[in-house]
């Protein structure tokens, strides 16, 4: 399998690249800066310099041709303002989907966020509220595309704790946290399980081994 990851230098993406290359898959990551390339190569991934805030659909589609699946794991990141939540977390996800369809790649997995399924409650930090709105808009756009076999993954609060290999993965899990290691492991398992297409899944730490959790979600 060849997978192309948007946000290829992100904390989750770097972990996912390691997992995919280790199991023998071919993996590439889109990065904004050439100096990030070495980090991807160390993890067995092909670096592709491409800024999704500036690239055209045709340019991105060219990078996706020949892929079996794509993962949107890009994000504006901490410290970014409202505008970049819109241009990265929403618009870049839509552009990536447009490019996937143009390139003939059906499998599309997007890393969303818990809480993106409804309007943020009053009192939410304005920038975080816009992040959740951008994620929801991106999810809704992806889910409306019959040309994609999509899966929306909504992790809880992300941590850099060591992964446990055990999670809770369901349409609704309740609030909780999850290590980025385990998010990457779930993404790798989702890519290998086409039965999870058309599902929106929340993810937190839990009692079920990752592979079993993904198989149950597919069922």
Residue 3: exposed, middle, or buried by beta-carbon count in 10 A (0-12, 13-18, 19+)? Answer: buried
CA distances to 68, 117, 120 from 16, rounded to whole Å, are 16, 25, 29
**What does the alpha-carbon distance between residue 132 and residue 62 come to, in Å, rounded to a whole number?**
30
Catalytic residue check, 131: yes
CB atoms near residue 217 (< 10 Å): 22
Length of the chain: 219
Catalytic residue among 72, 96, 108, 131: 131
Active site positions, annotated? 131
């Amino acid at each position: 399998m060849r997978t192309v990851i948007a946000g290829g230098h992100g904390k989750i993406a770097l972990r996912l690249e390691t997992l995919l290359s280790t199991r023998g898959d071919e993996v590439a990551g889109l990065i904004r800066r050439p100096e990030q390339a070495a980090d991807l190569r160390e993890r067995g991934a092909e670096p592709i310099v491409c800024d999704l805030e500036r690239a055209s659909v045709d340019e991105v589609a060219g990078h996706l041709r020949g892929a079996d699946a794509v993962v949107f794991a890009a994000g504006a990141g901490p410290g970014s303002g409202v505008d970049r939540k819109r241009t990265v977390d929403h618009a870049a996800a839509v552009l990536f989907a447009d490019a996937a369809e143009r390139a003939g790649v059906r499998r599309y997995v997007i890393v969303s966020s818990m809480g993106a399924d409804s309007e943020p409650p009053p009192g939410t930090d304005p920038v975080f509220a816009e992040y959740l709105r951008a994620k929801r808009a991106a999810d809704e756009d992806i889910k409306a595309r019959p040309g994609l076999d999509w899966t929306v993954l909504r992790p809880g609060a992300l941590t850099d704790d060591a992964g446990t290999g055990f999670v809770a993965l369901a349409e609704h899990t309740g609030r909780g946290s999850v290590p980025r290691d385990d998010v990457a492991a779930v993404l790798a398992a989702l890519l290998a399980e086409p039965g999870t297409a058309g599902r929106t899944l929340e993810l937190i730490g839990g009692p079920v081994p990752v592979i079993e959790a993904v198989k149950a979600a597919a069922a």
